[in-house]
Structure 1
Amino acid sequence: MRALRIAGISLGLVLGLGACMPDIAAIGGGGKGRSVSLGTPAAAGGLDQRTVMAAGLERSYHIYVPKSVAAAGGSAPAIVTFHGGGGNALEFAKRIDIRRVADARGMIVLAPQGVGRGDKGFWNAGSISPVGMAERNNVDDLAFIQAMLRDAASVAPIDPSRVYAAGLSKGGMLAYHAACNLPGTFTAIAAVASTLSAADCPNPQGVSLLHIHGTDDKNVPFSGGSGEMSAKGANWPPASLGIERFSAANQCAPQAQVMRPAQDTTCQVTSCAGGEKVELCLVEGGGHAWPGIEPAPWQQKYGVYVSPYFKATDFVVDFLLSSN
């Protein structure tokens, strides 16, 4: 086994390693988008808000199809971006600048919204310790993902063999949960400041994984448990759990290639039997954040380090697109 130690954390990619239901409203995203009906083709270069029914709830998502995709004809890859708990689909997509990267890479973007009140949404990632209204009320977000992808495929030229997911915090947990329980849906996922929070992961075979984490994350600590800023009642599994599960399922090599994509970030990547990859990137001193973007007000207030050097959005998309 090859391991690297950073800031006291061992980086080893190893094998074997409620009450009554409240009024849960579908969220429109809190931003502007063309509201369209079922079957209406997605507007090239525009941002459409669409609704689907999933497990008895009306849910919403936004879809962005770059003009280059429409002009080229044929199918294109798609990325699903899961915002964090209490977050907003459009705000998250804007903050990570995913449309810029989608334009450059010819990639369709799907930005789903979690359930909640107002413009804040929550996800059910099947967590061992339920956090947020979606988990407390057992909202079926896996059904929502399936309904969204069916609807999106009916209005945009999505290549089903190149559908990817990326999420921050609870959104990353949902990406893990979907990859484990919806085989054949995602070719690769990326989880940032997150962990595999569910009790089990029955079938991650065939799915590549990129996990990005700050060594000083006080919300979802890399080593697991409850951090100084964790949600009430949270007791997160260690981030190594998801890495181990995906490595074992994909029969990844015990040796890892070490890379330094930024001055404060070190990554280890292993190749797997079926061509998959499992990669772990640690941001030294990094907090609960998506690296490479402007710190949010709360992060500035509490002194959370958001790396200005590691451009996570470009790195994530390049990893996903190389995972075919």
Structure 2
Amino acid sequence: MWAQGHPLLWTGKQREFTVHAPPGYTPTERLPLVIVMHPYPADGTYAAKLTDFNAKADKEKFLVAYPNGMDQAYNALVCCGAEDDVGFIGTMTKRLVDTWNADPQRIYATGISNGADMSYKLAVELPGTLAAIAPVSGGYIGPAAQNPSYMPQTPVSVATFVGGLDKYYAEFEQGIKFWSERLDCKAGQPEKVNGSNTRTSAKCRDTSEFTTYRLPDMGHNWPGSKDQTMGDEVTGVNATDLIWEFFTFHPKLSP
């Protein structure tokens, strides 16, 4: 079930997001909310196609929101523009809690590339809002992330997917190192996941978790997607399934 074209006036500009609710949805029941953010240049329609989160929501019964960036971009950590996308998405989220009855203890964010970077930004700059994020082919990178004080003030668990053939791989790995050092995350041994892929899980000082999927044969893609532009079907990992599984085990935590 699509609820198309929700307008939202923010900082004097018309912004838009779309919401997908599962069959049988009624606002009397509190459902988890997953915010899915597109790459640059793209929009929420493409994010839905790439990730197939609507089908996952229908099966597992949760809400999905797709905020549109201005000029097909978010003002994330390294790109693009100067819009207050943190404020826009924070306001969108509050509206979904107030009017769609989204569960404030189970609000999550994910995205790819520019949208993945944005999920890290939201984790830091919307304290107390998100329970967990899942950046795919994106990173905790850029000038802000270089600052040791730029870190979450409330616990936000992370599951990230990094392709070994991604041209930004080294930057993403540096970002993982920064986050882990600042939150004192202690990683366990990598586990094999379908061939040469690995999953490494870390427990952090603030009770959050940081899980990294390293996919050595993948580039700048969404693993498990059939999309011909940014999908990757051959890695043996389905990010959408693994992200939702991670989210279900990570409701909001108290520091």
Taking the TM superposition and a 5 Å limit, the aligned residue runs for 1:122-141 are: 122-127=73-78, 131=79, 134-135=80-81, 138-141=82-85
Q: 1:103 to 1:249 in 2, by over 3 A?
A: farther
Structure 1 residues 315 and 240, CA gap change in structure 2 (3 angstroms): same
CA separation of 1:126 and 1:274: change in aligned 2, threshold 3 A? closer
* Contact 1:209–1:246, Cα closer than 8 Å, also in 2: no
Q: CA deviation at 1:241?
A: 3.4
Q: Which amino acid aligns with 1:150?
A: K
Query: 2:234 is paired with a residue of what secondary structure?
Result: coil
Bigger Rg, structure 1 or 2: 1
Residues 140 and 179 in structure 2, CA contact (< 8 A), matched pair in contact too = no
Gaps of 5+ in 1: 1-44, 224-237
Higher helix share: 2
Deviation of 1:69 after TM superposition, in Å, equals 4.2
Q: Deviations over 1:131-171 (max 9, x none)?
A: 4xx42xx1111111112112222321111111000010010
Select the residue among 162, 174, 178 that pairs with 1:213: 162
Equivalent runs, 1:124-273 vs 2, <5 Å: 124-127=75-78, 131=79, 134-135=80-81, 138-201=82-145, 202-204=150-152, 205-218=154-167, 221-223=168-170, 238-253=171-186, 255-273=187-205
Report the CA distance between 1:194 and its aligned residue.
0.9
Distance in 2, matches of 1:262 and 1:55, equals 46
Runs (4+) off by over 4 Å: none
Q: Which residue of 2 aligns with 1:22?
A: none
User: How far is the alpha carbon of 1:259 from its aligned partner?
Assistant: 2.3
> Residue in 1 aligned with 2:239?
312
RMSD: 2.1
Give the aligned length. 246
The separation in 1 between residues aligned to 2:225 and 2:242, in whole angstroms, is 13
Where in structure 2 are the equivalents of 1:281-300 lying within 5 Å? 281-297=213-229
How do residues 7-26 of structure 1 correspond to structure 2 at under 5 angstroms?
A: none
The amino acid that maps onto 1:67 is P
Structure 1 contact 65–156 (Cα < 8 Å) conserved? no
Q: Within 2, Cα distance between the matches of 1:242 and 1:208?
A: 15
List runs of 5+ in structure 2 lacking aligned partners.
none
What whole-Å deviation, never above 9, does each CA across 1:270-293 have from its counterpart, x for those lacking one? 123443110111112211100011
Shift of residue 245, structure 1, vs aligned partner: 3.6
TM-score by length of 2: 0.88
Letter in 2 for 1:199: P
For 2:59, give the aligned amino acid. A
Q: Match of 1:67, SS?
A: coil
Give CA-to-partner distance per residue, 1:101-132, whole Å, 9 cap, x none: 1122221100111111xxxx1111142xxx4x
Q: Percent identity?
A: 24
Closer/same/farther in 2, CA of residues 155 and 244 from structure 1, 3 Å limit: same
CA distance in 2, matches of 1:246, 1:181: 14
Residue deviations 1:233-285 (CA, integer Å, cap 9, x gap): xxxxx1123323432444322x4142223224211011234431101111122
Residues 126, 245 of structure 1: CA spacing in aligned structure 2 closer, same or farther, 3 A cutoff? same
Whether the 8 Å contact between 2:196 and 2:215 is mirrored in structure 1 is: yes
Q: Deviations over 1:9-45 (max 9, x none)?
A: xxxxxxxxxxxxxxxxxxxxxxxxxxxxxxxxxxxx3
**Alignment-mate amino acid for residue 75 of structure 2:** N
Which residue in the other structure is 1:17 paired with? Answer: none
Q: Is the 8 A contact 1:172 1:194 kept in 2?
A: yes
Instruction: State the AA in 2 paired with 1:244.
Output: K
Please tell me the residue identity of whatever aligns with 2:113: S
